[in-house]
């Protein structure tokens, strides 16, 4: 489906490699070549203003690397990342001029709400730092006032500005992280598993807060998670990643209720279901391959029940399966992959 409005964020055939070679002297003694890890490979996707795109997949599939590419914390090895039609500027390029204005418009919420907050700073200094860096307040009085507004906006008290991060619960610390992210008045937030370290009841509070803020402030989210229940709650569209590539991409209901890629179907089959108590459930066979030595062809073929010779030799492209859903699977393209019955039907 085509949309008249340009995307807020666009990734065009983005790849990111990391040099994981042993130290030079070890390579010299063993005569070993350099080793490169392909963390993200040939990813193209778009995020429209006001929507939430969720990326899901097993640990090590490249979700967090893609999140850091989106905000410039990593520079792509291949391809390019565009924010509002302009190339994303690397985070280490300084905070003035165009780089500063772009940095102000995008922020990131990290997975661990304690590790991402400076334990030696009071909450007021943590939330107020972006205000000072981007010159959004004229003086300390205005900064304190704005920090109080931000804390109250996320369900805390303005008086909490005088406290330290260790004095708060995990959910409250994540609210502080959200307040800090909102302090520069951003349009785009990357949320890297922001609730995975929290209790279930606290997760719901933080997710509801983020949905409320999105509705009130018109925010756009890239949401990283391995929890499909969370994704079902927050996402408009879902991308499924496997070993650095997107293998299925489409509207949430299509991907979660009518999965087409075998990997997506196996992920969904692994979700606990009380209605199937006592019934053996299929486990995803095998383990994620070593990314330093990925399988030939489709990297999922060693674990795929539909794999054939073509799958073992040819990497599938991400192609339309319907008007709205893209799938990278030879079996789907050839009609060998049966569409699962709608979940809950």
The model's pLDDT over 40-67, given as tens digits with 9 standing for 90+, comes to: 999 999 999 999 999 999 888 999 999 9
C-alpha–C-alpha distance, residues 243 and 146, integer Å: 43
Q: What's the pLDDT score for residue 112? A: 85
Residue 16: which pLDDT band, with cuts at 50, 70 and 90?
A: very high
User: Does the structure show a pLDDT above 60 at 99?
Assistant: yes
β-pair partners for 240: 56, 248
> Do β-strands 326-327 and 86-87 pair in parallel, antiparallel, or remain unpaired?
unpaired
> Per-residue pLDDT tens for 129-154?
999 988 999 999 999 999 999 999 99
User: What does the block give as tokens for 16?
Assistant: 């990111």
Q: Is the pLDDT of residue 236 over 60?
A: yes
Q: State pLDDT tens for residues 271-329.
A: 766 565 566 666 667 777 888 889 999 999 999 989 999 999 999 999 999 999 999 99
pLDDT of residue 42: 94
Beta-bridge partner residues of 11? 45, 81
Pairwise CA distance, residues 21 & 25, whole Å: 11
What pLDDT is attached to residue 272? 67
Q: How confident is the model at residue 23 (pLDDT cuts 50, 70, 90)?
A: confident
> With 70 as the cut, is the pLDDT of residue 189 above it?
yes
Cβ proximity of 227 and 55 under 8 Å: no
Helix and strand counts by DSSP (H, E) for the chain: 12, 12
Distance between first and last Cα of the chain: 26
Mean of all residue pLDDT scores within the chain: 89
Compute the distance between CA of residue 73 and CA of residue 88 in angstroms, rounded to an integer: 10
Give the gyration radius of the chain's Cα atoms.
22
- Give me the helix-helix angle, 123-133 and 170-182, nearest 10°: 20
Round to whole Å and give the CA distance between 235 and 53. 6
CA distance 80 to 284: 33
Quick one: average pLDDT of 228-252? 94
């Amino acid at each position: 489906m085509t949309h008249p409005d340009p995307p807020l964020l666009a990734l065009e055939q983005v790849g990111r490699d990391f040099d994981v070679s042993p130290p030079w002297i070890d390579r010299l003694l063993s005569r070993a070549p350099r080793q490169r890890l392909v963390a993200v490979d040939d990813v193209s996707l778009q995020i429209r203003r006001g929507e939430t795109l969720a990326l899901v997949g097993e640990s090590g599939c490249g979700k967090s690397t893609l999140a850091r590419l989106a905000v410039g914390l990593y520079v792509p090895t291949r391809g390019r990342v565009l924010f509002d039609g302009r190339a994303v500027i690397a985070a280490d390029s300084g905070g003035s001029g165009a780089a500063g204005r772009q940095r102000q418009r995008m922020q990131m919420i990290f997975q661990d709400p304690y590790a991402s907050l400076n334990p030696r700073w009071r909450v007021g200094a943590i939330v107020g730092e972006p205000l000072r860096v981007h010159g959004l307040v004229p003086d300390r009085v205005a900064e304190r006032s704005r920090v109080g507004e931000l804390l109250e906006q996320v369900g805390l008290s303005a008086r909490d500005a005088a406290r330290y991060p260790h004095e708060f619960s995990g959910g409250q610390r994540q609210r502080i992280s959200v307040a800090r992210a909102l302090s520069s008045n951003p349009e785009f937030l990357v949320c890297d598993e922001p609730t995975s370290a929290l209790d279930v009841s606290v997760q719901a509070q933080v997710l509801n807060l983020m949905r409320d803020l999105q509705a009130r402030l018109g925010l756009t989210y890239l949401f990283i998670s391995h929890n499909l229940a969370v994704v079902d709650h927050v996402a408009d569209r879902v991308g499924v990643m496997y070993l650095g590539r997107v293998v299925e991409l489409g509207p949430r209901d299509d991907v979660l209720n009518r999965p087409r890629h075998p990997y997506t179907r196996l992920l969904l089959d692994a979700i606990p279901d009380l209605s199937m108590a006592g019934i053996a459930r299929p486990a995803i066979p095998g383990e994620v391959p070593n990314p330093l030595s990925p399988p030939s062809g489709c990297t999922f073929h060693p674990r795929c029940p539909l794999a054939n010779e073509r799958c073992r030799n040819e990497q599938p492209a991400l192609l339309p399966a319907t008007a709205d859903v893209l799938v990278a699977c030879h079996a789907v393209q050839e009609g060998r992959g049966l569409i699962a019955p709608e979940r809950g039907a």
